[in-house]
Amino acid sequence: MNSIKIRSHNLNVFYGPFQALYDINMDIESNKVTALIGPSGCGKSTFLRSINRLNELIDGVRIEGQIYIDEKPIYARDVDVVALRKKVGMVFQKPSAFPMSIYENVAYGPRIHGIKDRRVLDEIVEKSLKAANLWNEVKDRLKAPATGLSGGQQQRLVIARVLAVNPEVILMDEPASALDPISTAKLEELIAELRCNYTIVIVTHNMQQAARVSDYTGFFLNGRLIEYNRTEELFVNPRDKRTEDYITGRFG
Ligand SMILES: Nc1ncnc2c1ncn2[C@@H]1O[C@H](COP(=O)(O)OP(=O)(O)OP(=O)(O)O)[C@@H](O)[C@H]1O
């Protein structure tokens, strides 16, 4: 699968009079993992939510600038936001299985998009659960309630649910922050595998995690993108004093 490039051009986001993002210019590579790091409140999640237009669900938000996905401006007037959110899937911090069976959680999206044939759904469910490294753990209890799964399993189920609608980009907002170390390791393994087929952008508080899972890292501070580089370069050889202070734990 050919996944796609994201380009943020002079992006500004305002929550009423408060400006949360300032002129963000960022080219995100396809088939790579890009991590967004920075202290609490610096705008990482706001930027992430800009990529599938989730911010505009919040009252009073104003967005300037543009984000291009696959060269297409996603804030253009004629953009189909439902189609955009199908193409750009999102995984949130809190594992949130729907209160229905494991099978139905994964079949939910494809059903909404009009797939009714049971065999086709069966195939999608199996393929998505396999891709999310969850199939072996749940294949004998697909009809069981998803809420009975552990947090780590639920997070992988959410990823299966995202994969089931064939996205090209996967956004993850602190996906491991509610997970134990073993589940976190499994999730990181999965992220490494998914990179072959998807463009992944992940917000994380955890710098070790950013260093482990990502190819590129962007460091945000007070709504600005301070430094953006290959992960190794940014961690080993930061160019900006503020990046260096942050990654060496002087604030944050
Ligand atoms: N719905 C909102 N209404 C008003 N202000 C908001 C809203 N969401 C975020 N903000 C503000 O925008 C700024 C950036 O928030 P954002 O959540 O993007 O930061 P973050 O870096 O992801 O932080 P954290 O790591 O704590 O989630 C913060 O000052 C925050 O208080």
Q: What is the pLDDT of residues 208-250, one digit of tens each?
A: 999 999 999 999 999 999 999 999 999 999 999 999 999 998 8
Average pLDDT of span 28-42: 96
pLDDT for residue 251 is more than 90: no
Average pLDDT of span 30-50: 96
Q: How do the domains of the chain map onto residue ranges?
A: 6-247
Q: 46, 40, 37, 29: which is closest to 238 by C-alpha?
A: 37
For residue range 77-132, what is the model confidence (pLDDT) as tens digits? Answer: 999 999 999 999 999 998 889 999 999 999 999 999 899 999 999 999 999 999 99
pLDDT for residue 252 is more than 80: no
pLDDT value of position 178: 87
CA 20 / ligand 1 centre spacing (Å): 7
Mutation probe of ligand 1 site: the residue of 12, 24, 36, 42 with most atoms within 8 A of C-beta: 42
CB 92 within 8 Å of CB 173: yes
Q: How far apart are CA 28 and CA 216, in angstroms?
A: 8
Query: Which CATH number among 3.30.420.40, 3.40.50.2300, 3.40.50.300, 3.40.50.880 corresponds to the domain 6-247?
Result: 3.40.50.300
Q: Which residues lie with the beta carbon below 6 Å from any ligand 1 atom?
A: 15, 18, 20, 38, 40-46, 58
pLDDT value of position 1: 44
Query: Can you name the residues that pair with 225 across neighbouring β-strands?
Result: 220
pLDDT for residue 52 is more than 70: yes
